[in-house]
Amino acid sequence: MTHPGSFSAARIVCAVAGFAVLAGPASLAPLAEAAADAAAAAAPPPLAPPQHRERGSLVFENIPVPDAALAARAARYEQSREASFLDWLADGSMLIGTRFADTDQLHRVAIPLGMREQLTFYEDPVEWARAPLRGGGFAFLKDQGGDENAEVYYQPPTGAARPLTQGSFIHGSPVWAHDGRRVAFYGNDRDSLSYDVYVADVTSGAAPTLLVGGREDTWYPLDWSPDDTKLLVWKYVSITESYLYLVDAVTGALTPLDDPAHPRKAGIRMAKFAPDGRGVYVVTDEDGEFGQLKLKDLVTHSSRNVTPDTLWDVEDFDVSDDGRYIAYVVNDDGRSRLTVLDTLGRLELAPAGLPEGRIGNLRFDRTGRRLAMSAESPVAPRDAYVYDIEHGRLERWTRSEAGPIDVGTFVTPQLVHYPTWDRVGRHARMLSAYVYRPRTAGPHPVVILIHGGPESQYRPGWDPFLQFMVNELGYAVVAPNVRGSSGYGKSFLALDNGPLREDAVRDVGSLLVWIGLQPQLDRDRVVAMGASYGGYLALATLITYGERLRGGIDFMGISNFVSFLRNTSGYRRDLRRTEYGDERDNSTRVFLDRISPLTNAGRIRKPLLVAAGANDPRVPVSESEQLVWRVRAAGGEVWYLLAKDEGHGFRKKANRDAYLETVATFLQRLR
């Protein structure tokens, strides 16, 4: 097939094949290594001690002060706000997360487009909360400085919030019983490694009780039965293997949801009780490549499909209290599609007027006739919407500000597909990418924006700084979904596991070939940029295809898989070993060391920007610091930005603004 403005697929495949042979990761063989060694021998001596300055919690090394005019232009794109729907409150008003000052906090909205009444006032962000259907109040999560050791707090209808948990442990997924008194959540208090399920009675003041636990197991509470006698819990092994159980809310006795004589290994996204308590709705990929919504009968162990078979995942759903309406969202190649099923009238409803982008957190209210959600697009900030089903009307409950910029200048990305280096059957494997193109004449410099995860997916949504890169700096932004991304089936998800890790790097190499064939893209001015696992891919691309790049940006990326696996938080370690390999095995450790950017840091000869949070529990800051030291020791140029009060990502506006201004300065220099 062909795409607008591109060459034929056959021509691209030929180019990809040649490029993969010449410059793929597997080609880091004797000749390439000898050349790299010779270049290293001729490299200049180590740089002088980096220039160092501090501003509040931020540390800047080798980073120039941003040009005032450039900083002012960037600042215009940093003033937008968003509103995330979180839950319905018992009185019919809405609980949202939004920012008035430096961090997101909880707010109440009573009517469509009503005032945002701020409810929490903390230095650290509060971004997740759940409310009971009766009894008033709500539970929310808050950590310290991005350390992700979130405590569960209860905010009663009147008075101050109080913590339900104590100590430096991770907690999450609060789920309210129908009685409005008990809330279940997970925590790793017992051994710091296992996710156990606890239940707290918010009216008693007593400490939470342990309901479900196991040795280094990962349990999540999902839903209470209609009579509150059972809890639906999720035993998570990996993204492709999970199991559901029913637990007695008094004794803690566990019963597997499926027939214990025929357990099925499958990926599960979410599940909840049917209103009659006899069945459970589950999003599972047990029958194919994609997650589909099924209703499982707890008595007969039979199941039926609720949603039609599609080539995409069902990613979210909710069911009204009377069971009449079922709402679900399908992830269609990165864009969300909402459908509401009227089971009584046997109708499919699709509300018009939602932004063309991402939809999430579907929740029916107590009446079962109003469906709330968050929705956003590349040209519309995330806001809270309500679909009034009986009147067929979409209501906007919040209207967030884009800041002092005209969203009419924002560009909508084009979905393209490009061939990579291997084949599926007789045809080249095709990968998807979203391309944001400046409206000015090309050829344009390019930023390859690589998502993290790796079990994640680039999806177009509200991102003003991306629009700044396009509109103000003149970069085209290409955001690929390389192998290992979610959203394209469980087989595709596994294509980068363990010893296949470098195949994802080859996918970026194939994208470089595709870029080189586009007349409106400048193949000689390309920058690789990524965060977390995307930071690893940006670094690996800079090492493997450095002659094709101007530079790279690594935000909290993995620099050495062995040290990462040893130092990431204990409760995450086994899960990450499933994805990357077990570093305790000698042959695996040798492989992981060989492919790690730290091992090959001497080959980074283009400018590099590295940023990290000091409190990161996922990718420890040591991953960034050891890379910065190694590249500098080899004579390379590195800008390094450290935030002392952040974790895995910069969630405070002042820190985020400083990072984006640094990125703008770096990209302006590389143009």
Q: Residue 3's pLDDT is what? A: 37
8 A C-beta contact, residue 255 and residue 301: no
pLDDT tens string 422-431? 999 999 999 9
Smallest Cα–Cα separation from 174: which of 227, 232, 223, 135?
223
Instruction: Classify 37 as helix, strand or coil.
Output: helix
User: How many DSSP H helices and E strands does the chain contain?
Assistant: 12, 38
Owner of token pair 């999450």 = 172
8 A C-beta contact, residue 643 and residue 653: no
Q: Which residues, 6 or more positions from 537, have their beta carbon under 8 angstroms from its beta carbon?
A: 450, 482, 504, 505, 508, 528, 530
Q: Residue 9's pLDDT is what? A: 34
Per-residue pLDDT at 370 exceeds 90: yes
pTM over 0.95: no
Q: DSSP code of 265? A: -
CATH class assigned to 9-77+405-670? alpha beta
Q: Residue 41's pLDDT is what? A: 43
Instruction: Classify 16 as helix, strand or coil.
Output: helix
8 A C-beta contact, residue 314 and residue 283: yes
**Which is higher by pLDDT, 191 or 416?**
416
Alpha-carbon gap, residue 639 to 622, rounded angstroms: 16
Per-residue pLDDT at 16 exceeds 70: no
Paired strand residues for 95: 87, 108
Q: Is 202 left (phi over 0), alpha (psi -120 to 50) or beta?
A: alpha
Average model confidence (pLDDT) across the chain: 91
Q: Residue 232's pLDDT is what? A: 98
Q: Residue 14's pLDDT is what? A: 35
- The H-or-E segment that residue 468 falls in is helix 464-471
Q: Residue 530's pLDDT is what? A: 97
Smallest Cα–Cα separation from 361: which of 96, 650, 648?
96
Alpha-carbon gap, residue 149 to 143, rounded angstroms: 5
pLDDT tens string 487-522? 999 999 999 998 999 999 999 999 999 999 999 999
pLDDT-derived band at 48, boundaries 50, 70, 90: low
Q: SS in 3 state form for 69-136?
A: HHHHHHHHCCCCCCEEEEEECCCCCEEEEEECCCCEEEEEECCCCCCCEECCCCCCCCCCEECCCCCC
Owner of token pair 């400490």 = 207
pLDDT tens string 379-397? 999 999 999 999 999 999 9
Distances (CA, A) of 316 to 95, 128, 291, 420, 644: 19, 17, 10, 30, 35
With b meaning 16 or more CB within 10 Å and e meaning fewer, what string describes 140-161? bbbbbbbbbbbbbbbbeeeeeb
pLDDT tens string 573-629? 988 998 899 999 999 999 999 999 999 999 999 999 999 999 999 999 999 999 999
Q: Residue 557's pLDDT is what? A: 97
pLDDT tens string 522-554? 999 999 999 999 999 999 999 999 999 999 999
The DSSP annotation for 388-442 comes to ETTTTEEEE-------SS-GGGPPPPEEEEEEEEEEETTEEEEEEEEEE--SS-S
Per-residue pLDDT at 23 exceeds 60: no
Instruction: Sort strands 444-450 and 476-481 into parallel, antiparallel or unpaired.
Output: parallel
pLDDT tens string 441-487? 989 999 999 999 889 999 999 999 999 999 999 999 999 999 999 99
Q: Is 543 left (phi over 0), alpha (psi -120 to 50) or beta?
A: alpha
Instruction: Sort strands 335-342 and 325-332 into parallel, antiparallel or unpaired.
Output: antiparallel
Alpha-carbon gap, residue 225 to 64, rounded angstroms: 58
454 cis-preceded (ω within 30 degrees of 0) = yes
Share of the chain above pLDDT 70, in %: 93
Distances (CA, A) of 514 to 437, 486, 522, 536, 551: 15, 22, 11, 21, 19
The DSSP annotation for 608-661 comes to EEEEEETT-SSS-HHHHHHHHHHHHHTT--EEEEEETT-BSB--SHHHHHHHHH
Q: Residue 49's pLDDT is what? A: 65
pLDDT-derived band at 39, boundaries 50, 70, 90: very low
Residue count (the chain): 671
Q: Residue 63's pLDDT is what? A: 96
Range in 2-16, 181-195, 436-450 with the lowest mean pLDDT: 2-16
pLDDT tens string 262-318? 778 899 999 999 999 999 999 999 999 999 999 999 988 889 999 988 899 999 999
